[in-house]
């Protein structure tokens, strides 16, 4: 029920209770017998007598000071003799007929049913209006409007991305001072397309532009234009632009515009399907207003390659602003924003966390901070410590630990040598990222994990680095082959990574002499950051690609086996330390490798005499994110 209806019902109930309990404030009444009443009547003790014809109740007020009200009930009819005594007593006689309360006896019974009937018909009418309104307003825009009266988002709320802010500042200047641009004949772009991977804050940046400019911000998603009725999308586009024109200066933001801006001609029904009609209407509306009107279109997508060319031509979305994954300084600023209102320990260094999280978007960093807070609560901590961030990193990247999983000693030993092979290759190779942590605790879907720490952000990959990543991926398989004389299914994920890297070296990066400087993957990425597979070459070239890929893999396996065979002592030490402690830090791996090189006989020493400290689940002193995490899994 609405609030006003509850208040109305409460008021009616209280009024009825007050009327029912009315009569307060009168003198207290004492009930006496009819005989006693007659005796005292004869004695002349009453100054006033009230008689009710309906209830036969008699109320007699005494002459005492203070007066006392006595109550009794007569016979059905008072005898004539008693009535004569009434008159003879000298008391005031007040006959009374019980007609009841006018409101409760007359008005309420009349209007209460009428009121319920009126409320019922009002409720039916309201439902019909809502249903008809839903049908009639199906073509209206679903955009949410954020006016300047609400607390707005500004560029100060957007951490990092200084380059993006500089590029988009002129849109803010135009909305604030349109005359300055008009005086010299400058034309501001009608549409700004924000392009970037998911979670990089494209919507937040668009809202910050509206907050900085102090203009209304109309936000809508591309899917809001589509309905089951034909023509609804086009109608909503018209209504959206009509509302924006009423506001004067405004920003129209369309999130995930690729849902309606896909290239035309590929849908069912040729150029007459609902999506294409919506896109045609949007193109017409963008041509229908001038840049001097003060309306700026902004849109966001992570799939710019599938947008219709007419949408990107000059005069429409003619400016593209790339919102990339945050760099080191940007990640630090984003972490500062998300940790501002959280209780942080003094041992947390956000610069170290930012350095160890390359490739994470703003949404990923926000989730990382939240997971760290959850781990702090689970561990009974009053603050978020560096250890909490380390646990959160492992949870986000590789999953939760499955310590309850039961494995045989033989399987544990094979897993230990498998992970030791990965760790030894990563530590011994020249350009590979240093080892951060090695564990044989089942994590996620993996039986063991080897994590490496990047020393900084990377934007390209040298051929030597690509080859050494393949060697590191094949380290577990070759370690099993050297120690046990056979391989297992635990290297399935390693082979997938190595094969993918070798194939990209051949088809995309021109690192094969047989293929030469030729790109055999013409299509751009479907999603930013994810490569697409294409087949625009002959069967002979495909066979050559397979040959070159296999050649690279076989060569890298040979180099990997040679490296492990040369450092067999270090392999044994790392594997034994893993069997004893389950988790070994990168610094400990380096110490064991140095120990094996300086003392070849150490490979035969029992684990307890190596003075190897027990590594924590996090491993190491610094928080980091792996540039490559090997996962040994079952097939």
Query: If we measure between CA atoms, which residue out of 591, 556, 563 comes closest to residue 577?
Result: 591
Tell me the backbone φ, ψ of residue 410, rounded to 5 degrees. Answer: -65, -40
92 in Cβ contact with 47 (< 8 Å): yes
Q: What are the backbone angles phi and psi of residue 472, rounded to the nearest 5°?
A: -65, -40
b/e per residue 25-64 (b: at least 16 CB within 10 A): eeeeeeeeeeeebeebbeeebbeebbbbeeeebbbbbbee
Quick one: residue 70, left, alpha or beta (phi over 0 = left, psi -120 to 50 = alpha)? beta
Residue recorded with tokens 């209780």: 343
| Tokens coding 405 | 């999983």
Do 379 and 388 touch, CB atoms closer than 8 A? Answer: yes
Cβ 593 vs Cβ 604: under 8 Å: no
Strand order in the sheet with 435-439: 583-585, 435-439, 448-452, 629-632
The catalytic residue among 276, 419, 467, 468 is 419
The helix/strand/coil state of 394 is: helix
For the sheet with 144-146, list strands across it.
Answer: 144-146, 217-221, 250-255, 295-301, 191-195, 319-322
| Strands 191-195, 295-301: pairing kind | parallel
Answer for the pair 155, 309: CB distance below 8 angstroms, yes or no.
no
Of 145, 222, 190, residue with least CA distance to 295? 190
CB 477 within 8 A of CB 495: yes
Phi, psi of 605 (to 5 degrees): -75, 145
What 3-state DSSP class applies to 513?
coil
Using a 10 angstrom Cβ sphere, with 0-12 exposed, 13-18 middle and 19 or more buried, the burial of residue 415 is buried
- Work out the burial of residue 66: count CB atoms within 10 Å of its CB; fewer than 13 is exposed, 13-18 middle, 19 or more buried: exposed
Closest Cα partner for 568 from 367, 415, 363, 424?
Answer: 424
Nearest Cα to 361, choosing from 192, 219, 202, 240? Answer: 202
Spatial separation of the C-alpha atoms in residues 560 and 566, rounded to whole Å:
10
- Minimal CA–CA distance to 237: which of 225, 254, 226, 248? 225
Q: What distance separates the 2 farthest-apart alpha carbons in the chain?
A: 140
Any catalytic annotation for residue 167?
no
CA nearest 252: which of 299, 200, 314, 300?
A: 299
212, 251 contact by CB (below 8 A): no
Cα–Cα nearest to 585, from 619, 554, 542: 619
Residue (of 119, 207, 215) closest to 176 by Cα position: 215
Catalytic residue ranges = 419
């Amino acid at each position: 029920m609405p609030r006003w209806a509850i208040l109305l019902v409460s008021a009616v109930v209280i009024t009825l209770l007050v009327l029912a309990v009315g009569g307060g404030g009168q003198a207290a009444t004492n009930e006496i017998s009819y005989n006693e009443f007659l005796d005292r009547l004869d004695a002349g003790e009453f100054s006033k007598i009230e008689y009710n014809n309906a209830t036969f109740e008699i109320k007699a007020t005494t002459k005492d000071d203070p007066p006392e009200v006595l109550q009794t009930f007569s016979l059905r009819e008072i005898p004539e003799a008693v009535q004569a005594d009434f008159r003879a007593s000298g008391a005031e006689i007040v006959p009374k007929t019980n007609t009841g309360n006018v409101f409760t006896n007359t008005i309420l019974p009349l209007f209460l049913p009428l009121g319920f009937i009126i409320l019922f018909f009002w409720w039916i009418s309201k439902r019909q209006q809502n249903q008809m309104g839903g049908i009639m307003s199906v073509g209206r825009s679903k955009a949410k409007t954020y006016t300047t009266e609400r607390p707005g988002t500004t560029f100060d709320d957007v951490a990092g991305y200084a380059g993006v802010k500089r590029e988009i500042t002129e849109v803010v200047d135009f909305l604030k001072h349109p005359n300055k641009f008009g005086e010299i004949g400058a034309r501001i772009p009608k549409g700004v397309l924000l392009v970037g991977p998911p979670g990089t804050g494209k919507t937040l940046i668009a809202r910050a532009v509206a907050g900085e400019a102090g203009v209304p911000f109309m936000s809508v998603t591309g899917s809001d234009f589509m309905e089951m009725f034909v023509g609804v999308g086009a109608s909503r586009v018209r209504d959206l632009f009509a509302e924006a024109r009423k506001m004067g200066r405004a920003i129209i933001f369309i999130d995930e515009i690729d849902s309606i801006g896909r290239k035309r001609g590929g849908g069912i029904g040729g150029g007459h399907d609902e999506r294409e009609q919506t896109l045609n209407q949007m193109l017409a509306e963008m041509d229908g207003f001038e840049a001097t009107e003060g309306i700026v279109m902004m849109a966001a997508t992570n799939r710019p390659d599938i947008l219709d060319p007419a949408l990107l031509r000059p005069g429409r979305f003619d400016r593209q602003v790339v919102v990339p994954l945050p760099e080191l300084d940007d990640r630090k600023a984003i972490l500062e924003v998300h940790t501002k209102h959280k209780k942080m320990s003094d041992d947390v260094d956000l610069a170290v966390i930012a350095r160890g999280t390359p490739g994470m978007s703003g949404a990923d960093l926000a989730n990382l901070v939240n997971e760290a807070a959850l781990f702090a609560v689970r561990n009974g901590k009053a603050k978020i410590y560096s250890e909490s961030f380390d646990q959160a990193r492992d949870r986000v990247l590789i999953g939760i630990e499955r310590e309850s999983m039961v494995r045989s000693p033989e399987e544990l030993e094979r897993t230990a040598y498998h992970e030791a092979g990965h760790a030894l290759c990563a530590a011994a190779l020249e350009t590979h990222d240093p080892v951060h942590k090695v564990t044989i605790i089942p994590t996620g879907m993996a039986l063991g994990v080897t994590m490496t720490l990047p020393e900084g952000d990377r934007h390209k990959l040298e051929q030597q680095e690509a080859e050494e990543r393949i060697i590191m991926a094949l380290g577990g398989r070759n370690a099993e082959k050297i120690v046990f004389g056979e391989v297992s299914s635990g290297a399935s994920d390693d082979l997938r990574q190595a094969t993918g890297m070798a194939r990209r070296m051949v088809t995309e990066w021109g690192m094969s002499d047989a293929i030469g400087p030729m790109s055999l993957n013409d299509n751009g990425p479907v999603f930013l950051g994810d490569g697409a597979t294409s087949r625009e070459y002959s069967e002979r070239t495909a066979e050559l690609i397979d040959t070159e890929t296999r050649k690279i893999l076989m060569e890298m396996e040979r180099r990997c086996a040679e490296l492990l065979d040369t450092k067999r002592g270090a392999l044994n030490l790392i594997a034994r330390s893993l069997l004893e402690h389950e988790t070994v830090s990168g610094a400990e791996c380096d110490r064991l490798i140095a120990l094996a090189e300086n003392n070849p006989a150490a490979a035969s020493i029992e684990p307890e005499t190596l003075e190897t400290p027990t590594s924590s689940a996090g491993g190491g002193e610094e928080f980091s994110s792996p540039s490559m995490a090997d996962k040994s899994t079952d097939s």
